[in-house]
Chain A
Amino acid sequence: KSSDRNQPMDLDADSTDCSINDNAPCTFRGNVNIVQGTLNIRAATADVRRSNGEIQTVKLTGAPATMNQELDDGSQFKARASQVDYDVTRETVVLTGNAFVEQPSGNIASDRIVYNMKTGQVQSGGQGGGRVKMRLNPKNSQQQGGG
């Protein structure tokens, strides 16, 4: 949801190596689980960067890293990729490496997918993102899927 951004972000992991200073990395390893409002990300590692005490970016890797979020219309956005770069300030998520997005309206598979959390827009391919494979679901199955 667009309100997710203003929620606290809870993260747990097997271990962390964290520099408390600004712009220095706070690295988390092992069973990383992030919850921020309806946003839920699971990964093997996470690298969190802060500036002026605020989170700026979270870079996650996994085999794959997975991401779920409920959209403002109540439907579910699901995604997975080898790397997930969440830019908290710009509210965008860049999925790279076997990226796959699943929404009621259809699925997209590409090597690079950009998801704008503010607008809900999904962009794929470009920047060496390779070919895009997209499947659009017929209207009635969307309604069923949309709940």
Chain B
Amino acid sequence: MNWRALATALLLVGAALSGWALWSQRERDAGRAEAVQRPDYVLHDFELVVLDKQGRESFTLRAPLLERDPQVKTMAIATPLFLIPPRPGGNGGAWEVRSRSGWVSADNEELRLRGAVRAESVDAEGRPIRIATEQLNVFPQAKRATSGVPTTVTQPGLILNGRRLEADLESKRIHLAEVKVRYERTAR
């Protein structure tokens, strides 16, 4: 009879040990998760001018909130406004790019804008251009932008809808697939 009692006792001890192990692991995870989520610095209502390797302005960023992830050194931004200047000597207009949220890569070479993205500029004749989409990846130094989701490009008298946007922000050259265009006569 006593081997049964012994086995029961052993099982109880085993259950208690594994419960304790699980409990302490949970605490350690929570600790680590909190560490990962905690940014190493936070900026509020700021303007940040980012320079390229030659010391020229790559882009200017204004936003109410920026949090930097210490692990991967990327930045998460709330309602950012990115100002991307034209290339020195180029005839393109500067770009203003807004969205609901933004992300900047560790090397500042890539900006990912998500949610109600609006990129606005002017063409060589000073006419306004607007790109509207839900996702836009901007490469400020290469003056390039891409998107994998439906995108609309508008200008007075022109509405271009399509997918898989590839845009040269400097020459205002745009590549789109599955494209639908409407040309309207602009008011005289």
Contacts and interface: CB of A to CB of B under 8 A. Distances in A.
Genuine A/B complex: yes
Interface of A: 6, 8-22, 26, 28, 48, 50, 52-55
Given A9-B183, A10-B182, A48-B183, A53 B176 contact: no
Given A53-B155, A53-B158, A19 B183 contact: no
B162 interface: yes
B155 A20 contact: yes
Contacts of A13: 179
Contacts of A54: 157, 185-186
A32 to B, nearest CB: 10
- DSSP class of B's interface residues: helix, strand, loop or mixed? strand
A34 to B, nearest CB: 9
A19 B173 contact: yes
Nearest to A7: B185
Interface stretch (B61-69, B119-127, B141-149): B119-127
- DSSP class of A's interface residues: helix, strand, loop or mixed? strand
Contact of A19 (B172, B184, B185): B172
Among B127, B155, B185, the one with the most A-chain Cβ atoms within 10 Å of its Cβ is: B185
Nearest to A55: B183
B178 interface: yes
B129 interface: yes
Contacts of A20: 123, 129, 153, 155, 158, 172-174
Nearest to A15: B177
B182 A8 contact: yes
Given A16-B162, A53-B186, A54-B186, A21 B179 contact: no
